[in-house]
Amino acid sequence: MTPQAEIARAARILRAGGLVAFPTETVYGLGADAANPQAVARLYAVKRRPADHPVIVHFADAALAFSWAREVPESARRLAARFWPGPLTLILKRSALAGDFVTGGQDSVGLRVPAHPVAQALLRAFAGKQGGRAFSGVAAPSANRFGAVSPTTAAHVRADLGDEVDCVLDGGPSEVGIESTILDLSGAAPVLLRPGRIGAGEIEAAIGARLAEKAADAPRHPGGLERHYAPRTPAALVPSWRLDAEIAKRGAKVAVLAFSRPDERVYRWLRMPRDPQAYAQRLYAALRELDEAGCERILVEAPPETPEWAAVRDRLARATA
C-alpha cells in the first residue's frame, strides 16, 4: 500500500470505531474516535486502563482542538501559536463535544496537536463530515499497557498490543521520546502537570506568567501516579558517586544505564548521551532493552539536578519508584 492509501485506510478504521496505533513526535499513541463511546471503551480495555483516567484528544489544528473547549484563555492561544503542532498538551474547560468517557468525568479535557507528519496526515484524513456525523478528535493515550514503558517505535507497539489493534502505522522512532508536556489551564493559575521537552521556563516566557506548583488535589492523571512508565525488572536510581559501590554490592546480574563507559563486571550496560534531549529520545527503548536482559536489577545513574533534565528525571523517578 502507498503511504496515502495506508493513511486513508487508517482514517476509515477510526471513523468506523476501530483502533489505530500511530506515531507522534513524543511516543506512539493508540487512537480511537474521541466522540465514539464504544471505540473509547475498547481503547481502555486494550490498555487495561481504569475508566476514571482521562485521555488526551488529538487534532489536526488548533481551531479544531479549541472547539472541544468552552473557554479558551489568552494564554492557551499564545501557547498554541508558539508550540502547536508540537509536544504540548493543554487542559482546558471542556465543551459539550468532550464526553465523560474521554475526560474521566472531569469538567476539563486534554487537547494536543501533534507535529509528526504521519499523525498530521491521519488526523487530517479523519476529520470531516460523513453520513451526518462530524469527525474531529482522536483520543490517544500512549500505545502500551497501563503503567508500562511507552512505545517509541512501531515494533514496541506490536510487542505490547499485538493483534488487539486494527492497524499500526509505522513512522520510525519517535524524535522526542518522552510524553508531551501537560499544562493545566482550566483553573485560576497555570499548573504544570507533566514535564516534557517543552520546559517550564519556555512556557512562562510565552505566557508572561509563573507556573504554579502541582496541588495535592490536582485532577487525577496516571502520569501523576508514583510508579508509572516502569520496566518489570526492579530499577533503582543511583547517584554517580555511588554507582561503583552499588555494582560491587549487586554482583553480575545487574543491568546499568549510565553516562560513563562500560564496566566489565556488569552483565548488560547501556551508555547514555550527556545531552538531555538525546537521552530522552533513547530512554524508553533503553529501559525495554535492559528489561529484556533478564537481570535481577536495573541501576540507573542519576542525571544532573538542572532544569533541562527535569522531564527525564521525572520519568526516571517514576520508573524506579
User: Which residues make up the interface to ligand TXA (CB under 6 A)?
Assistant: 24, 26-27, 29, 53-56, 89, 91, 103, 106, 108-110, 112, 114, 140-142, 179-180, 182, 193, 219, 221-223
Kindly give the pairing relationship between strand 88-93 and strand 181-184: parallel
d(CA 245, CA 202): 38
Partner whose binding site includes residue 106, from ligand TXA, Mg ion, none (CB under 5 to 8 Å by kind): ligand TXA
Q: What is the distance between the alpha carbons of residues 195 and 276, in angstroms, rounded to a whole number?
A: 13
Selection from 189, 239, 234 nearest residue 215 by Cα: 189
Backbone angles phi, psi at 142, to 5 degrees: -60, 145
For ligand TXA, the closer of residues 30 and 258 by Cβ is 30
Helix, strand, or coil (residue 15): helix
Output the smallest distance, CB 271 to ligand TXA, in A.
26
Nearer of residues 36 and 103 to ligand TXA, judged by Cβ: 103
CB of 36 to ligand TXA, least distance (A): 17
- Helix axes of 3-15 and 117-126: crossing angle, nearest 10 degrees: 50
Q: Which is nearer to Mg ion, 7 or 161 (CB)?
A: 161
Q: How far is the CB of 87 from ligand TXA (least distance, A)?
A: 6
CB of 119 to ligand TXA, least distance (A): 8
Q: Which of 142, 152, 180, 320 binds Mg ion (CB under 5 A)?
A: 142
Decide: is 174 part of the binding site for Mg ion (CB under 5 A): no
Task: Please tell me the chain's helix, strand, coil percentages from 3-state DSSP, rounded to the nearest 5.
Answer: 35, 20, 45
Q: Smallest distance from the beta carbon of 77 to Mg ion, in angstroms?
A: 27
**Residues forming beta bridges with residue 298, ordered by sequence position:** 235, 255
Chain positions contacting Mg ion, by CB under 5 A? 142
